Amino acid sequence: MFTFEYVDFSTTSQEIRNCLATEDFQRLATTLRGLELGQLIEQFEALKIADAAILYRMLDKDRSLELFQNLDAPVQAELIKTLQQATVVEAFAALEPADRVSLLDELPATVATRLLAGLDKQQRQATGVLLGYRDSSAGRGMTTQFISTHPELTVGQVLNCITPQLNATEHCHLIMVVDRTRRFIGAVRLADLLGQPQDLLISNIAFEIPTAQASEPDTEAARRALERHLDLMPVLDNEGRLIGVLPLGEAIDLLEDAEELRTARSAGSEPLYRPYLGTPLRKLVRARVVWLLVLAVGATLTVQVLATFEQTLESMVVLSLFIPLIVGIGGNTGNQAATTVTRALAMGDVRVSDLGRVMFREVRIGAMLGLCLGAIGFLIASVVFELEVGMIIGMTLVALCSIAAAVGGAMPIIGKFFKADPAVFSNPFISTFVDAAGLIVYLSVAVLVLGR
Amino acid sequence: MFTFEYVDFSTTSQEIRNCLATEDFQRLATTLRGLELGQLIEQFEALKIADAAILYRMLDKDRSLELFQNLDAPVQAELIKTLQQATVVEAFAALEPADRVSLLDELPATVATRLLAGLDKQQRQATGVLLGYRDSSAGRGMTTQFISTHPELTVGQVLNCITPQLNATEHCHLIMVVDRTRRFIGAVRLADLLGQPQDLLISNIAFEIPTAQASEPDTEAARRALERHLDLMPVLDNEGRLIGVLPLGEAIDLLEDAEELRTARSAGSEPLYRPYLGTPLRKLVRARVVWLLVLAVGATLTVQVLATFEQTLESMVVLSLFIPLIVGIGGNTGNQAATTVTRALAMGDVRVSDLGRVMFREVRIGAMLGLCLGAIGFLIASVVFELEVGMIIGMTLVALCSIAAAVGGAMPIIGKFFKADPAVFSNPFISTFVDAAGLIVYLSVAVLVLGR
């Protein structure tokens, strides 16, 4: 049990007004935590509604639910309307995203659904700041365009009750089933309702479906929805209460955008999100130039490596003829491994903890590929040039393919560990690292074989 | 008007039996085309049902519909059952795919839907040979798990009529509306039926939706379904008759598999279609080694180019230090352009006929990127090495970036023209071509600047 020390109304009131005026939300939250529910309601009622809405949003989840339930219905409605207003949203939008997430507790499910009900996608996006979920979380992407019902009702009751909503609701193939506290139980198909006896209980035909957490990344939820072909994925808050749904169509669009970003990034450019022929040239240049420069700066590493071995190159200029071949084969081997592992990560076949296993597999695969290519390289280079060149090429390819495959396989996993998109992270790193590594191996082998 | 010459029953009968025995479907089709409907029926009835089924499938679409309509219901049912049998399917499966498509006319919509009704995915795939559509066409991927109705019925009539089917039909959010000859008219939402007055005509609430042609590639149909978020895409034959549907879930899987293939191929390996960690090493090696060899063979071009310029390299070994840098920047520039254009092709923003426009755009973009990189390269190389080196690097980058962007942008379009997957086609070609071109430009510029 907490014991609250006696807090004077007018002192507290002054403190709250000060916090609001200076937008010191951190101090406001602390002040509010020191108040009992009764005092809180007093303070809430004494404020102008726009200020009251900000105060309201700073409460912890439990207390914000308690306070909401203690308000009269018209005041509840006014509070919801005020929370949707630009001035209130902007106050929170001005916070740093990280502060916002740590400062704003999840909204209670009843309040969240009422806040979002009837808003279109754009308005939802704007109001999303108030929800207490990160950008690009499932809670931000969800909609409230769905129909829900309760397990203890009969099929007949439900059909009567939902029929008026059907025309206005886009996503109604699946009806969500929740208990009286909005806790998610399962779903029923609209089609199944029609075929059933009128007095059957909903609890008898509700079935489980995969769900999403409001706080999880929206692309993860979307990928699960696509894999399971789920028309409508319920989005739950951290108490398992239904606050929205992710329709399959929106899941498709989310992944489509993520894919555009990934494809563009993995080739070292920024996504356009608009038709190619209609995009001005300078925008296309801008989307590419930064990455091109980054990759070019990375590539200067190869110049430095080669400069170190300049003497070796001078003593046997024929070695320089194979530089692009060696670098290219290393890059291709690394790329193959990276692509396979990136896909395996996306599919959930490989986890971050599998790093060791993956690298051990890839070293062996790389060695086998290297033996194969090295043998051919040795034969051709020995015949066309000289035996020493053949030996250098052959040995380099065995060593390089092993290294490149292991590094290529490891990069996406390391990228994932640092929460970078594996595909994006791997590409520039592999090309820079493997190019330089390939040259070091090549010329070290040459020094070894030539003895100079 | 055609006049048929008099054809003797027993001679023809002997001819047909010969064709069937030797599996000479070409001659069978010609023989059948010479018969009138009455004669055709006589011949059909004189054969064992397995032979009759093969004869039946060799008819042109119109005549196969006429013949079918002239059969008694039990004979129709037996024919359908026989067409589904392995022996009949195998006779056609033995044909070359191209012959099959040219020899087998589309089946009439009524026959096609009856043929597929009740078959599961695996059986559908097996029987698909009989449909007269290419592998990987929408007609092959469709299912017949859907509900259809007619425009002149009332909402009440339709609800009565479809209710018993709802539980057994997986895809019933959208009800297809067809006329009495199965010509596709539109669709109604199941949810909309419930909210409407019982005596409203279906024609009043049916709406248009995007459709697929049975003969078009399944991935094209699937992409359209995903873009439009269409739960159920109707698949029509070339007379606009409804023969099946492509559910959104299957469209998702189709594109997922296509994506796996493309990702793997664009990195130069074969897709695994199975979990990475569970795949034996030799399978992984096999998926990669062929492409790696192909790319390596392509890369020997660079050795030849460099061998041509061996004297220049010998006279100024410092030039060889920049080889990987130059090759890398060319590859990156080409890749950026290829990725952007590949995506634009997939999205339908760019067509094959835009080749000239795309190349003109990309040359200019490449020149701008080249000027930017070239200026930086000139400055650094002049300071660190010598003025001549800086000039060579700078001029090379301007020329190379223009070429690489134009080639990179053109490759996916050329690939598409030859009906190769743009992403797959571009990658090995760009890397090989741009690597070699980069070296030619680099060393030609060097010869020019150095005068030797």
pLDDT in tens, chain A (452 residues): 454 555 678 888 888 888 888 888 888 888 888 888 888 888 888 888 888 888 888 888 888 888 888 888 888 888 888 888 877 888 777 777 777 777 778 888 888 888 887 777 777 777 777 787 888 888 888 888 889 999 999 999 999 999 888 888 888 889 999 998 889 999 999 988 988 889 999 999 999 999 999 989 898 899 899 989 999 999 998 889 998 899 999 999 888 888 777 777 666 667 777 778 788 888 888 888 888 888 888 888 888 888 889 888 888 888 889 999 998 899 888 888 888 888 788 777 888 899 999 999 999 999 999 999 999 999 999 998 889 999 999 999 999 999 999 999 998 898 888 877 665 666 667 777 888 899 999 999 999 988 86
Whether residue B381 lies within 8 A of chain A, CB to CB, comes out as no
The mean-pLDDT minimum among A376-380, A402-406, B27-31, B113-117 falls in B113-117
pLDDT for the residue B88:
80
Interchain contact, B268 vs A324, CB within 8 Å:
no
Q: Please check whether residues A327 and A367 belong to one and the same domain.
A: yes
Interchain contact, A373 vs B296, CB within 8 Å:
yes
| Shortest alpha-carbon distance between residue B201 and chain A (Å) | 17
Query: Are B405 and B365 within 8 A, CB to CB?
Result: yes
Residue at A124 is within a domain: yes
pLDDT for the residue B242:
92
Query: What does the pLDDT look like over B210-255, one tens digit per residue?
Result: 999 998 989 889 989 998 999 999 999 888 999 889 999 999 988 8
Q: Please check whether residues A328 and A366 belong to one and the same domain.
A: yes
pLDDT for the residue B119:
78
Query: What does the pLDDT look like over B334-363, one tens digit per residue?
Result: 888 888 888 788 777 888 899 999 999 999
- Is residue B30 scored above 80 in pLDDT? yes
Chain A with chain B: Cβ pairs closer than 8 A:
277
Average pLDDT, chain B: 85
Whether residue B353 lies within 8 A of chain A, CB to CB, comes out as no
What's the CATH code of the domain at B413? Answer: 1.10.357.20
- Is residue B149 scored above 90 in pLDDT? yes
Q: Please check whether residues A324 and A400 belong to one and the same domain.
A: yes
Q: Please check whether residues A299 and A401 belong to one and the same domain.
A: yes
| Shortest alpha-carbon distance between residue A178 and chain B (Å) | 21
Amino acid letter, A88? V
Q: Please check whether residues B254 and B157 belong to one and the same domain.
A: yes
Largest Cα span, chain A: 96
Q: Please check whether residues B425 and B298 belong to one and the same domain.
A: yes
pLDDT for the residue A149:
94
Interchain contact, B340 vs A276, CB within 8 Å:
yes
Residue at B143 is within a domain: no
Residue at B40 is within a domain: yes
Q: Residue A162: which domain range?
A: 148-247
Exposed, middle or buried, A29 (CB in 10 Å: 0-12/13-18/19+)? middle
Say how far apart CA A412 and CA A407 lie, in whole Å.
Answer: 9
Residue at B301 is within a domain: yes
Q: Identify the domain boundary among B132, B157, B176.
A: B132
Q: Please check whether residues A343 and A238 belong to one and the same domain.
A: no
Q: Please check whether residues B176 and B325 belong to one and the same domain.
A: no
Query: Are B105 and B64 within 8 A, CB to CB?
Result: yes
- To probe the interface with B, which of A159, A270, A320 has the most B CB atoms within 10 Å? A320
Residue at B224 is within a domain: yes
pLDDT for the residue A1:
45
Which residue is it, tokens 């299912």?
A: B143
Say how far apart CA B293 and CA B295 lie, in whole Å.
Answer: 5
pLDDT for the residue B1:
45
Domain count, chain B: 3
Whether residue A368 lies within 8 A of chain B, CB to CB, comes out as yes
In chain A, what residues touch B439 (CB-CB under 8 Å)? 324
Interchain contact, A373 vs B328, CB within 8 Å:
no
Q: Please check whether residues A107 and A186 belong to one and the same domain.
A: no
Interchain contact, A163 vs B194, CB within 8 Å:
yes
pLDDT for the residue B421:
66
Give the range with max mean pLDDT: A79-93, B111-125, B157-171, B387-401.
B387-401
Report A:137-176 residues touching B (Cβ under 8 A).
Answer: 159, 163-164, 166-167, 169, 172-173
Q: Please check whether residues B14 and B107 belong to one and the same domain.
A: yes
Residue at A256 is within a domain: no
CA angle A8, A13, A19 (to 5 degrees): 130
Residue at A168 is within a domain: yes
- Give the closest residue to A272 by CA, choosing from B342, B297, B79, B10: B342
In chain B, what residues touch A281 (CB-CB under 8 Å)? 361, 364-365, 368
Say how far apart CA A337 and CA A403 lie, in whole Å.
Answer: 11
Query: What does the pLDDT look like over B286-298, one tens digit per residue?
Result: 888 888 888 888 8
b/e code B281-317 from CB counts within 10 Å (16+ = b):
eeebbebbbebbbebbebbbbbbebbeebeebbeeeb
Q: Which H or E element spans position A322?
A: none
Say how far apart CA A419 and CA A396 lie, in whole Å.
Answer: 34
Which residue is it, tokens 């061996």?
A: B310
Interchain contact, B325 vs A310, CB within 8 Å:
no
Q: Please check whether residues B382 and B439 belong to one and the same domain.
A: yes
Q: Please check whether residues A177 and A56 belong to one and the same domain.
A: no
Residue at A142 is within a domain: no
What's the CATH code of the domain at A219? Answer: 3.10.580.10
Q: What's the average model confidence in pLDDT over B153-163?
A: 92
Interchain contact, A292 vs B369, CB within 8 Å:
yes
Exposed, middle or buried, B228 (CB in 10 Å: 0-12/13-18/19+)? middle
Nearest CA in chain A to B285: A365
Say how far apart CA B284 and CA B275 lie, in whole Å.
Answer: 11
Say how far apart CA A285 and CA B401 lie, in whole Å.
Answer: 12
Residue B82: pLDDT band (50, 70, 90) is confident
Amino acid letter, A187? A
Interchain contact, B285 vs A368, CB within 8 Å:
yes
Interchain contact, A173 vs B191, CB within 8 Å:
yes
Query: Alpha helix locations (H) across B348-386?
Result: 355-384
User: What are residue B183's DSSP bridge partners?
Assistant: B241
In chain B, what residues touch A347 (CB-CB under 8 Å)? 275
Amino acid letter, A41? I
